[in-house]
Structure 1
Amino acid sequence: MSIEQLQDGRWFVDVEPIKGKRFRKRFKTKAEAVRFESLVRQRLVQDVEWNPKPKDKRRLTELVDKWFDLHGHTLSDGVRRKEILSALAKELRDPLGRELTGNQVNELRREQMEKGVAGKTLNNRLGYLKAVFNELYQLGEIDYRNPLERVRPIKLQERALSFLSLEDIAVLLEALDARDSSPHPPMIARVCLATGARWGEVEGLDPNLVRNGSVTFANTKSKRTRTIPISAELEKELKTHLARHGRFTHCMETFRRVLRATNLHVPQGQASHILRHTFASHFIMNGGNILTLQKILGHTSLTMTMRYAHLSPDHLQDALRLNPLVSTCSGSKLSAEGVASSLSRPEALP
């Protein structure tokens, strides 16, 4: 860059970057020439084409750490999620974040499936990894889009929900009452069965929130408080228990051991969640409203609650009344054999 005075008294500015367009212009005064040179210099510095930003060379583990510092620490399961993500990054050989590809993730997923890792677990890990890139891009921490945005989760076979019968409930509660190691599991189980709350929500129950014939759960998965009515008898038992033994402690493992010892059939991975399914299932079978159940369970989406709809006494009853093997003729119902016989006669055809 240069500014020089010409023979005619004007000032000449010549700005030439390393490559690209050259800027040359004449001015009547030196002040104008200096301002023009300064303006061109500033634009060249700001222009990405002339002043390219260095490529992000942070590896996946560094991005996971940054995600936790900026956002992950605010999540209720943030620490656990970070541990999963860090292990996943190492299994992927810790590539540069911007160079990670969907094929790398899919290949690792195939290897883990062959080792017996559950499909739901793999889908959760993919979701966690996608969330890292989405959040960092949203915060402006990275300048490239999610490299995994086109990777689809595994399509899983929907499993039928399992729940305990009244006889099963009696067996389970009797086994819990006979266990002397901890006084808390029997009471927690009863509160779960009476309210549909998650085991962890009951464990964190504040004794001061058991009042006026209800319990209020403040430490919920959705971060929203829920107040559920309970019977006067259960309220009295719960208050007495908390006054005598203090706040509930973490005792889920004790519950799991007792459950396994009863030999009750519970699908793998449900354990204490079977109590929540049992409440919801019996609620619907006894004629409860699906929208009321959604509020009790604290589901943000009705889709989750609809899993229990098939247990309703009148759910899809029209399938019995309107299916093609059931018809009304002169006030009587034709059997399947009758329908088949009618169709076999030529005169019966239109």
Structure 2
Amino acid sequence: MIKKLPSGRWQVDLRTDGRGSRRIRKSFDSKAEAKRFETYVLTKSAEGKEWNPSKADNRRLKDLIQLWFNAKGVHLKDGERRKRCLDTIADFMGNPVARTVKPAAFLAYRAHKIQEGASKKTLNNHLGYLNAVFNQLNRLKEIDFDNPFRHVESIRLDERELSWLTVEQIRHLLTTIEGFSQNPHVHLLTRICLATGARWGEAENLQLRHVQEGKLTFVNTKSGKSRSVPVAPELFKEIQEHLKQHGGFSFSLSAFRRALEKSGIQLPAGQSAHVLRHTFASHFVMNGGDILSLQKILGHSNVTMTMRYSHLAPSHLLDAIQYRPVF
């Protein structure tokens, strides 16, 4: 639409794609100039181009990482660690202009890290961190280009071996800790994890205020949600007395690892104190506990994680005998 203004100038006022699209208004000294401009804009629109495109976004990858950190990462428990990881990835790629980065840049980084011995799970996490940066900034309208890594597939992982301790191994481990370790906390921490399925760090974080009414309340958990687990009266009283005496637990994971090595118990690579959590869950199911209760005790956000232990249920084991082929 072209109209004459009270000032005597001629104004072009149009929307190239109808109501809701970008509105363009520009004034000219003559109607002929206005008409030429209108024709130019409509021609560009027909070609799928803007008549006045915005300036190219030349921010580099580390600039976007910083934006993501300010908006989201600063609120995450591991936000600073993630940012350091992302900066390292960006440096490997040469810190390119973010809108020009290609999937091949990450694939080269991943291949290099695999040669260095990085685990597949770690590299899948790194891909997830990059996706989070672009997806978050897209949602916030900080960038107007697509996530360049959205079609990069994660590495398929083999199901991790689920290891747990037998009753004999539990007794042997506790006896080894008692006779070998000088750490005043490690024996009790081991029994807390075995009795509740707590992660080692969750048990170490216990304070006297978290030990109330026969229950242990674990806070600052991996899921961010607190949970309470009851324990036997004797263990409850021992924990209370220990915390009154010592004020809290100190870092004791190294002491546990040394005692575990001394015990001679063989575990899959990368597993140490987490075997205590697996042991609680495995014995819980083998002794007839149900999966949904176990999910709540372990603090899993969904039951899929807890289902890893379902094959240990007595009914499952009996079915294997009852319905096996007869020969």
Bin for the TM-score computed over the shorter chain:
0.7 to 0.9
Q: Which has the larger radius of gyration?
A: 1
Q: 2:19 corresponds to which residue?
A: none
TM-score by length of 2: 0.83
The answer to whether 1:60 aligns with 2:61 is: yes
How far did residue 301 of structure 1 move? 1.0
Shift of 1:26: 8.9
Q: The residue matched to 2:316 in structure 1 has which SS?
A: coil
Per-residue CA distance 1:274-330 (angstroms, 9 max, x = gap): 11111101111111101100010011111100000111111164454345x33xxxx
Structure 1 residue 258 displacement after superposition: 2.2
The verdict on how the C-alpha distance between 1:55 and 1:235 changes in structure 2, with shifts beyond 3 A counting, is same
> Using the alignment, how far apart are the partners of 1:272 and 1:145 within structure 2?
42
Which residues in structure 2 correspond to 1:1-350 (within 5 Å)?
11=8, 13=10, 49-315=50-316, 317-323=318-324, 325-326=325-326, 336=327
Q: CA deviation at 1:21?
A: 11
CA distances 1:44-93 after superposition (whole Å, capped 9, x unpaired): xxx99344322222222222222111111111111222222222222222
Q: Report % sequence identity.
A: 45
Which amino acid counterpart does residue 13 of structure 1 have in structure 2? W
TM-superposed CA distance for 1:254, in Å, is 2.3
Instruction: State how far apart, in whole Å, the 1-side matches of 2:11 and 2:247 are.
Output: 82
Contact 1:10 1:26 (C-alpha < 8 Å) held by counterparts: no
Q: Does the C-alpha gap of structure 1 residues 128 and 51 become closer, same or farther in structure 2, counting only changes over 3 Å?
A: same
Tell me, yes or no, if the aligned pair for 1:290 and 1:306 is still in contact at 8 Å. Answer: yes
- The whole-number CA distance in structure 2 between the counterparts of 1:98 and 1:294 is 43
Please say which of residues 233-242 and 84-93 is displaced more in the overlay: 84-93
Q: SS where residue 219 of structure 1 aligns?
A: coil
Contact kept? 2:12, 2:25, Cα under 8 Å: no
Question: Residues 286 and 83 from structure 1, CA distance in 2 versus in 1: closer, same or farther, beyond 3 angstroms?
Answer: same
Q: Secondary structure at the match of 1:162?
A: coil
**Would the alpha carbon gap of residues 166 and 97 (structure 1) be closer, same or farther in structure 2, given more than 3 Å must change?**
same
Q: Are the aligned partners of 2:285 and 2:310 in contact in 1 as well (CA < 8 Å)?
A: yes
Q: Provide TM-score, normalisation by structure 1.
A: 0.78
> Could you tell me which amino acid in structure 1 is paired with residue 10 of structure 2?
V
Displacement after TM superposition at 1:196 (Å) = 0.4
Measure the CA separation in 2 of the matches of 1:319 and 1:77.
43
CA displacement, residues 191-224 of structure 1 (integer Å, 9 cap, x when unaligned): 1111001111111113112011111112111111
CA–CA separation in structure 2 for the residues paired with 1:26 and 1:136 = 43
Q: 1:257 to 1:99 in 2, by over 3 A?
A: farther
| Larger relative contact order (CA 8 Å, sep ≥ 6) | 2
- Unaligned 5+ segments in structure 2 are 14-23
Aligned counterparts of 2:7 and 2:286: Cα–Cα separation in 1: 94
- Which runs of no fewer than 5 residues in structure 1 stay unpaired? 28-35, 327-335, 337-350
Q: Evaluate the alpha carbon distance shift between residue 10 and residue 169 of structure 1 in structure 2; reply closer, same or farther with a 3 A threshold.
A: closer
The more displaced of 215-224 and 227-236 is 215-224
Q: Distance in 1 between matches of 2:7 and 2:260?
A: 95
Could you tell me which amino acid in structure 2 is paired with residue 163 of structure 1? W
Equivalent-residue separation in structure 2 for 1:10 and 1:153 (angstroms) = 63
| Cross-structure match for 2:17 | none
Distance 2:247 2:230 in 1: 22
**TM-aligned CA deviation for residue 260 of structure 1:** 2.2
SS at match of 1:267: coil
Q: Deviations over 1:97-148 (max 9, x none)?
A: 2222212211221222222221111111111121111112122222222111
- Per-residue Cα deviation, 1:207-253 (whole angstroms, up to 9, x for no partner): 11201111111211111111101000001110111111111122222
CA root-mean-square deviation: 3.2
